[in-house]
């Protein structure tokens, strides 16, 4: 059986480390539950236990914002952060090396961060398809606002003008997956202060700019409205049933 229900949580503006710890707790419980289910199934097949009612692993979709923070993925290079400790203090920003894929990225107010903590056994067990599906949900959300977006060959995330020299990234992605349970996710620049990206080599890609919805449209957007539209497109792309 597959559980298509996904519990939606909005954590608001939350410290990155606090959100990381909350993610890790949910993620670890899901992985542990999957292990217990698998062991129980093997015991039933071996005849050492009787079959019980199926237990389904839960799914979560978390939306939030973070205060200014730079994070470095497992495959990243520390020198892609162009600020020293004093510079971080001046910018009221913090820095964390973390266990997702990808290089360095920035999170801050006005940026919509999405953490899907999903058991992909409930949807599809293909991490590349998972990333492409998240990208498509963002592309459709941007299209709702009249922003034409797409993919940049060889890189994850969502880009504008990816086919020419004006290529700029509007949504970064980095994920971790264990036993097909996911954590981390995507960061969409809605009203983000793009100046903060000037202090990193974004996602390790030199010579490429970043973008925001606000900058492209010339106006500040209602973040709650963007949340609603992105949540809808994620649910459609994955075939989810969102539970508020």
Neighbour-count burial of 136, counting CB atoms closer than 10 A to its CB (0-12 exposed, 13-18 middle, 19+ buried)? middle
SS3 (DSSP) at 7: strand
Tell me which H or E stretch contains 115: strand 111-117
Active-site residue (options: 64, 171, 177, 203):
203
Backbone angles phi, psi at 173, to 5 degrees: -140, 145
Give me Rg for the CA atoms of the chain.
19
Q: Cβ neighbours of residue 57 under 8 Å, at least 6 residues apart?
A: 3, 30, 33, 34, 37, 119, 121, 122, 181
Does the active-site annotation cover 203?
yes
Measured CA to CA, the distance from residue 109 to residue 103 in angstroms comes to: 20
Say what angle helices 127-144 and 223-238 make with each other, to 10 degrees.
Answer: 140
In DSSP terms, 236 is beta-bridged to none
Torsion angle, alpha carbons of 58, 127, 70, 165, to 10: -140
CA distance 163 to 156: 15
| 53 Cβ contact partners less than 8 Å away, ≥ 6 residues apart | none
**Which residues are known to be catalytic?**
203
């Amino acid at each position: 059986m597959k559980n298509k229900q996904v519990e939606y949580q909005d954590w608001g503006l939350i410290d990155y480390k606090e959100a990381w710890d909350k993610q890790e707790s949910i993620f670890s419980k899901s992985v542990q539950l999957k292990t217990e289910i698998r062991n129980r199934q093997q015991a039933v097949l071996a005849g050492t236990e009787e079959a019980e009612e199926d237990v389904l692993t839960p799914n979560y979709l978390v939306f939030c914002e973070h205060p200014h923070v730079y994070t470095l993925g497992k495959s990243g290079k520390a020198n892609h952060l162009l600020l020293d400790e004093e510079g971080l203090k001046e910018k009221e920003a913090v820095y964390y090396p973390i266990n997702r894929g990808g290089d360095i990225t920035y999170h801050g107010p006005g940026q919509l961060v999405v953490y899907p903590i999903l058991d992909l056994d409930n949807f599809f067990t293909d991490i590349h398809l998972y990333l492409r599906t998240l990208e498509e949900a963002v592309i459709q959300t941007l299209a709702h606002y009249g922003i034409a977006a797409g993919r940049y060959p060889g890189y994850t995330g969502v880009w504008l003008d990816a086919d020419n020299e004006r290529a700029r990234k509007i949504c970064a992605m980095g994920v971790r997956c264990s036993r097909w349970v996911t954590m981390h996710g995507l960061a969409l620049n809605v009203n983000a202060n793009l100046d903060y990206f000037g202090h990193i080599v974004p996602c390790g890609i030199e010579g490429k700019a970043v973008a925001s919805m606000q900058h492209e449209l010339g106006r500040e957007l209602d973040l709650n409205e963007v949340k609603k539209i992105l949540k809808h497109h994620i649910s459609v792309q994955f075939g989810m049933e969102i539970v508020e």
